[in-house]
Amino acid sequence: MIMKKLLRLGMALLLPVAAVLVVVYKAVNQAPSPELPQYEQVLEIFDEGGCLSCHSADPKLPFYAKLPVAGKVIMKDIDSGYRAYDMTKFMEELKVDGEVSPVDLAKIEKVVLDDRMPMAKYYLVHWGSSLTAAKRAIVLDWIHSRRAEMYNDNLPVSRAAEPVRPIDTYIEYDPAKAELGFDLFHDTRLSVDNTVSCASCHSLSTAGVDNHQYSHGVNDLMGGVNAPTVFNAVYNFVQFWDGRAATLAAQAAGPPVNPVEMASPSFEMIVAKLKSDKKFAKRFNAVYPDGINEANLTDAIEHFERTLLTPGSRFDKWLMGDDAAITPEELEGYELFKKYDCATCHAGQNLGGLSYELMGLRRHYFAERGLELTEEDNGRYKETKQERDRHRFKVPGLRNVEHTWPYYHDGTRHTLEEAVSDMGKYQSGVELTQAEVDKITAFLKTLTGEYQGKPVTTTNSPEDIHGHE
Catalytic residue numbers?
261
Q: How far apart are CA 247 and CA 446, in angstroms?
A: 28
Q: How far apart are CA 330 and CA 444, in angstroms?
A: 8
Angstrom CA distances, 265 to 165, 193, 255, 269, stand at 42, 11, 11, 7
Angstrom CA distances, 460 to 209, 465, 467, stand at 10, 7, 12
Q: How far apart are CA 270 and CA 267, in angstroms?
A: 5
In this structure, the dihedral spanned by the alpha carbons of residues 116, 122, 360 and 250, taken in order and rounded to 10 degrees, is 90
Q: How far apart are CA 183 and CA 280, in angstroms?
A: 10
Q: Which residues is 357 bridged to in the sheet?
A: 393
